[in-house]
Chain A
Amino acid sequence: MAVTSAASVGMDPVLDYDDVVARFDPVMGLEVHVELHTLTKMFCGCPTEFGAEPNSQVCPVCLGLPGALPVVNEKAVESAIRIGLALNCEIAEWCRFARKNYFYPDMPKNFQTSQYDEPIAFNGYLDVEVDDGAGGTEVFRVEIERAHMEEDTGKSLHVGGSTGRIHGAEYSLVDYNRAGIPLIEIVTKPIVGAGVRAPEVAKAYVSALRDLLRALDVSDVKMEQGSVRCDANVSLRVRVGDDPRGEAQLAVPLGTRTETKNVNSLRSVERAVRYEMSRQAATLEAGGSVLQETRHWHEDTGMTTSGRVKSDADDYRYFPEPDLVPVAPTRETVDALRTTLPEPPGLRRRRLQGEWGFSDLEMRDVVNARAVELIEETVAAGAGAAAAKKWWLGEPSRRANAEGQDLVSYAAGLRFSPAHVAELDRLVTSGRLNDSMARQVLDGVLAGEGTPTQVADARGLELVQDDDALQAAVDRVIEANPDIAEKVRSGKVQAAGALIGQVMKEMKGQADAGKARTLILARLG
């Protein structure tokens, strides 16, 4: 067993991951906050655009001025219901907002208008795909406890001290533009039975949730801008037997949990869960006990540090928000919203994979490259699925990777569209370009030289359509290479490759290699 000792002050010992899962069974709870991309805030008509001048998107309501009153954003409620439905939740027939009372300078009213015991959506699930350890995928069901509506807080800038961190700062500067932006908090039930794959399940869940929210078109889902934020609760219990979902394991009482705040990238979700498991395991192995506390995640070091110990100071004195009236969506409203739901991302993927005739591996490559939508649009624009996949996962993907962007934003930045790819594919299938010419055209398009046709025209790329010229080149090459010609004649068909190469050279590349092969074989047949 390898317990890494604390290397420096503030570093916790951690247990090697293999040892962790050999001895302990992890239980997780994930809380994801999603900023909706409504035009206006949750309770007032202020705009929600990211990056505006400080305190320029505020009004008496979201600034918490004396006398101001909230009014619920209709679109936010609809989005909350659609999210609930997409997560297979029940939708409350009647629910209320509540005040969560605590003091904090970036919270203008010193209470957050949230939902407490009456969330708008509850009892759902999200199926996520994880590696089955045998090269395929397996579905893991994450149960959803609830999804509720609330409002975001303002943002503080810490001045003085070191590096803008809160500790050691001399004072803070608050911008309330973000205060009041609608949030949906989605809380899972305890995730049990993930065993060794717990970190992977956590990441897959947040990833699947992000895809779902994107498909619903309710949020920008930009984790780097904080529009999706994750808190990860982790606890360990002693492992019994080999089945993390077995009765014996499920009967073991839960351990003390920690809540790691603001884990704001997919990679971090996985790392943070893994780190907490290792840290808690080391503590338990050393005979210590895990403190119930919030912990802060540090992206740079990949570690969590102790935050605030939970105490009775967390008495939020919830009570029904008297300035708002209950939300009671009618059955008709809910049914109407149900018809606006997109196909669930998982089902959609399986459907597209079937339509496109891709193998599991090919489909996974496509998903990992975030090319599903691009290929779908390219096919819709007239290209074949295999060709669409070939072009998107080739040069554009390589360049996007090299620039550290995902394919979608890379293509958007270049205005390189599915229509371009479909056009390129048409140029090939119509016989105007061969593959190597098409790659040159693609380079031109990516360099901003125009549409594929414009690039092909400008660079004078076009297969020679003159069969006589090709036949003449074939005849010249056969005459110049009698030895090879003889081999082909005697049945070594693969030797024709060398002749094709020379024909293409004669034609300066602007010939259809397939046609050249046919002509050569006919002469030597």
Chain B
Amino acid sequence: MNTDLTRASAAELAEGLASKSISSVEVTQAYLDRIAAVDGQVHAYLHVDAEGALTTARAVDARRAAGERLATLAGVPIAVKDVMTTRGLPTTCGSRMLEGWVPPYDATVVRHLKDAGMPILGKTNMDEFAMGSSTEHSAYGPSRNPWDLERIPGGSGGGSSAAVASFQAPLATGTDTGGSIRQPAAVTGTVGTKPTYGGVSRYGLVALASSLDQAGPCARTVLDTALLHEVMGGHDPLDSTSIDAPVPPVVDAARRADVTGLRIGVVKELGGEGYQPGVRERFEESVALLVEQGAEVVEVSCPSFDYALAAYYLILPSEASSNLAKFDAMRYGMRVLPEGVDAPTAEQVMAATRDAGFGPEVKRRIILGTYALSSGYYDAYYGSAQKVRSLIAQDFERAYEKVDVLLSPTAPTTAFKLGDKLDDPMAMYLNDIATIPANLAGVPGMSIPSGLAEEDGLPTGIQILAPAMKDERLYSVGAALEQALLERWGAPILSKAPDLAAGLVKGA
């Protein structure tokens, strides 16, 4: 194992912990030290819970010493996206609206992490209420890409991707409504999976768009991602949309890393015009490597994907406008009194608070969703978008009659500069063009690093998509490709990222 515990994979840490060659307190402390050293630059965390993490670590070490049988990842620390409720730990969703809110309950995913004995390092930064692709919409300032601190780490889960990429956590949780796990993974050289819709409980995830949201794992390797996927997933009676079936055999698939005879479809509509040349080159190279591994590649067409972005930006705001209505200054969170009004009414206080508490992107989407659902426009907008959603699901069904998995670049470009797209909502939305179809259809998707773009030296990602409830296929393909790429590169991609600690010294 790597002597620097923060550079080890979660699987390696788990082995070391199981064999008692390292303790959870040592690992957890190593990560807390790393956070103290570099998060001032990266700003991956909104809240660090050193004491809580160490308490869990000590308890796990004690249980292990007592000979208890523990979960595979027991003692391996994790960072939790601030969209998941954590009992006793602030949960803000990157919004002023929830500043200081401490939930009285745990999300099911968080309960799973705690049951597995995983110390929670803290809560990671995100675009406000998960609306964005850069974390620039966080009310608490953006997170920065460890590859280039002037660039975005993706979004909405940029805090989680930046934490994992900068070795401030071996694992992190994410949520993906239109690409918020996969796109940050792509632009930071990490791995992230959006499981099949319903594969991971949504209970305790502050909802953005209920029919699209899905929580999933973020990590540095495919196997680590699988290990976390297994902990997070499973049926939850508290979520009506949860699938009542065991978690797919993702860890086995990641360990086997076998694509022999697998039929792979390259989606014609994703990856052409509008995609950065370096992104395309790395993509084609990865496809070729998979063929070398024994996979069979064909091009498939999903013509309705051309309408996916439009459908998504109607369905999401519509559901969000309703989901975010609960933030009204009555029961929790911020309360702002309107200026210059004596004895304001509840209605006025709600409106003043929602103006002050929400950022511009949240307001934009709420207004857009309010419009798309309003009487007289429902059929033209929300209704039409739902029909497009059917078409996209049908495209996937047809494609999966011919192939086992689909491939595309994860994001059209590498990480852009902070501020570049902040004033152009449509340009920001286009980042999700390749990831959105999976959310609309509910199928699982994964992003793994495909290399560095020639033109800017920044990470590129490849997206793997599988049929619903066949999440294990993502891991077969992901692990096989990861292995082949690692052989070619000689070292993990993140070893090529600049050393932040050194950067700090240089800058000092």
Taking Cβ atoms with an 8 Å cutoff, the residues of A that contact B are 60, 63-72, 99, 101, 103, 105, 108-111, 170, 172, 174, 315, 317-319, 322-325
* In the bound complex, CA of A67 to CA of B236 (Å): 14
Q: Are B210 and A109 in contact (CB under 8 A)?
A: no
Q: Are A317 and B375 in contact (CB under 8 A)?
A: yes
**CB nearest neighbor in B for A316:** B375
Select one of B209, B328, B373 contacting A101, CB under 8 A: B373
Task: Collect the chain A residues with CB atoms within 8 Å of residue B206's CB.
Answer: 66-67
* In the bound complex, CA of A315 to CA of B322 (Å): 13
Question: Least Cβ distance of B318 to chain A in Å?
Answer: 6
* In the bound complex, CA of A67 to CA of B111 (Å): 14
Q: Are B240 and A66 in contact (CB under 8 A)?
A: no
| Stretch from B4-12, B342-350, B457-465 at the A interface | B342-350
Per-position binary interface string of chain B over residues 301-341, scored 1 when its CB falls under 8 Å from any chain A CB and 0 otherwise = 00000000000000000110110011110111000000000
Per-position binary interface string of chain B over residues 272-289, scored 1 when its CB falls under 8 Å from any chain A CB and 0 otherwise = 000000000000000000
Task: Collect the chain A residues with CB atoms within 8 Å of residue B93's CB.
Answer: 66
* In the bound complex, CA of A247 to CA of B211 (Å): 50
Task: Collect the chain A residues with CB atoms within 8 Å of residue B370's CB.
Answer: 317
B448 within 8 A of A: no
Other contacts beyond A103-B328, A322-B211: 19, CB < 8 A: A60-B103, A60-B104, A60-B105, A60-B204, A63-B331, A65-B105, A66-B103, A67-B107, A67-B203, A67-B206, A69-B239, A71-B239, A105-B328, A111-B322, A111-B325, A315-B375, A317-B322, A317-B375, A323-B207
Q: Are B103 and A65 in contact (CB under 8 A)?
A: yes
Q: Are B91 and A66 in contact (CB under 8 A)?
A: yes
Q: Are B326 and A323 in contact (CB under 8 A)?
A: no
B84 within 8 A of A: yes
Q: Can you show 20 pairs from A to B with CB atoms below 8 A apart?
A: A60-B103, A64-B326, A65-B103, A66-B85, A66-B91, A66-B93, A66-B207, A68-B203, A69-B239, A71-B238, A71-B239, A71-B240, A99-B322, A103-B350, A110-B325, A110-B326, A170-B343, A317-B370, A317-B378, A323-B207
B41 within 8 A of A: no
Q: Are B104 and A101 in contact (CB under 8 A)?
A: no
Question: Least Cβ distance of A327 to chain B in Å?
Answer: 11
Q: What 5 pairs between A and B have smallest CB-CB spacing?
A: A110-B325, A322-B210, A317-B373, A322-B211, A66-B206
Task: Collect the chain A residues with CB atoms within 8 Å of residue B241's CB.
Answer: 322-325
B483 within 8 A of A: no
Task: Collect the chain B residues with CB atoms within 8 Å of residue A60's CB.
Answer: 85, 103-105, 204
Task: Collect the chain A residues with CB atoms within 8 Å of residue B322's CB.
Answer: 99, 101, 111, 317, 319
Q: Are A67 and B204 in contact (CB under 8 A)?
A: yes
* In the bound complex, CA of A101 to CA of B328 (Å): 13
Taking A103-B347, A323-B210 as contacts, is the C-beta distance between A64 and B104 under 8 angstroms? Answer: no
Question: Least Cβ distance of B322 to chain A in Å?
Answer: 5
* In the bound complex, CA of A116 to CA of B57 (Å): 50
B31 within 8 A of A: no
Q: Are A174 and B330 in contact (CB under 8 A)?
A: yes
Task: Collect the chain B residues with CB atoms within 8 Å of residue A67's CB.
Answer: 84-85, 103, 107, 203-207
* In the bound complex, CA of A111 to CA of B319 (Å): 12
Within 8 A of A (CB), among B81-96: 84-85, 91, 93
**CB nearest neighbor in A for B98:** A66
Q: Are A323 and B240 in contact (CB under 8 A)?
A: yes
B374 within 8 A of A: yes
**CB nearest neighbor in B for A66:** B206
A-B contact count (CB 8 A): 102
Taking A68-B203, A317-B370 as contacts, is the C-beta distance between A108 and B104 under 8 angstroms? Answer: no
Per-position binary interface string of chain B over residues 375-393, scored 1 when its CB falls under 8 Å from any chain A CB and 0 otherwise = 1001000100000000000
Q: Are B326 and A108 in contact (CB under 8 A)?
A: yes
Question: Least Cβ distance of A110 to chain B in Å?
Answer: 4
B202 within 8 A of A: yes
Q: Are B332 and A65 in contact (CB under 8 A)?
A: yes
* In the bound complex, CA of A325 to CA of B210 (Å): 12
* In the bound complex, CA of A421 to CA of B240 (Å): 52
Question: Least Cβ distance of A143 to chain B in Å?
Answer: 27
Taking Cβ atoms with an 8 Å cutoff, the residues of B that contact A are 84-85, 91, 93, 98, 101, 103-105, 107, 202-207, 209-211, 237-241, 318-319, 321-322, 325-328, 330-332, 343, 346-347, 350, 370, 373-375, 378, 382
Question: Least Cβ distance of B99 to chain A in Å?
Answer: 13
**CB nearest neighbor in A for B203:** A69
Question: Least Cβ distance of A55 to chain B in Å?
Answer: 10
- Residue from A64, A67, A71, A105 having most chain B Cβ neighbours under 10 A: A67
Question: Least Cβ distance of A54 to chain B in Å?
Answer: 13
* In the bound complex, CA of A65 to CA of B207 (Å): 11
* In the bound complex, CA of A343 to CA of B427 (Å): 66
Task: Collect the chain A residues with CB atoms within 8 Å of residue B237's CB.
Answer: 71
- Residue from A65, A108, A317 having most chain B Cβ neighbours under 10 A: A317
Question: Least Cβ distance of A419 to chain B in Å?
Answer: 45
Task: Collect the chain A residues with CB atoms within 8 Å of residue B331's CB.
Answer: 63-65, 108
Task: Collect the chain B residues with CB atoms within 8 Å of residue A108's CB.
Answer: 326, 331
* In the bound complex, CA of A103 to CA of B329 (Å): 12
Task: Collect the chain A residues with CB atoms within 8 Å of residue B98's CB.
Answer: 66
* In the bound complex, CA of A113 to CA of B440 (Å): 23
Select one of B240, B343, B374 contacting A317, CB under 8 A: B374
Q: Are B85 and A69 in contact (CB under 8 A)?
A: no
**CB nearest neighbor in A for B101:** A66
Select one of B101, B205, B240, B373 contacting A70, CB under 8 A: B240
Task: Collect the chain B residues with CB atoms within 8 Å of residue A72's CB.
Answer: 240
* In the bound complex, CA of A324 to CA of B241 (Å): 7
Select one of A65, A66, A322 contacting B319, CB under 8 A: A322
Question: Least Cβ distance of B218 to chain A in Å?
Answer: 19
Task: Collect the chain B residues with CB atoms within 8 Å of residue A65's CB.
Answer: 85, 103-105, 331-332
Task: Collect the chain B residues with CB atoms within 8 Å of residue A63's CB.
Answer: 331
Q: Are A105 and B330 in contact (CB under 8 A)?
A: yes
Taking A65-B103, A66-B98, A67-B206 as contacts, is the C-beta distance between A319 and B346 under 8 angstroms? Answer: no
Task: Collect the chain B residues with CB atoms within 8 Å of residue A105's CB.
Answer: 328, 330, 346
- Residue from B322, B373, B374 having most chain A Cβ neighbours under 10 A: B322
* In the bound complex, CA of A319 to CA of B331 (Å): 25
Taking A103-B350, A322-B319 as contacts, is the C-beta distance between A69 and B343 under 8 angstroms? Answer: no
* In the bound complex, CA of A101 to CA of B322 (Å): 7
* In the bound complex, CA of A319 to CA of B93 (Å): 25
Taking A65-B103, A65-B332, A319-B373 as contacts, is the C-beta distance between A109 and B203 under 8 angstroms? Answer: no
* In the bound complex, CA of A70 to CA of B323 (Å): 13
Q: Are A103 and B325 in contact (CB under 8 A)?
A: yes
* In the bound complex, CA of A325 to CA of B375 (Å): 23
* In the bound complex, CA of A426 to CA of B206 (Å): 68
Question: Least Cβ distance of A219 to chain B in Å?
Answer: 25
**CB nearest neighbor in B for A160:** B343
Question: Least Cβ distance of A358 to chain B in Å?
Answer: 51
- Residue from A64, A65, A66 having most chain B Cβ neighbours under 10 A: A66
**CB nearest neighbor in A for B93:** A66
**CB nearest neighbor in B for A325:** B240
Question: Least Cβ distance of B340 to chain A in Å?
Answer: 19
Question: Least Cβ distance of B96 to chain A in Å?
Answer: 14
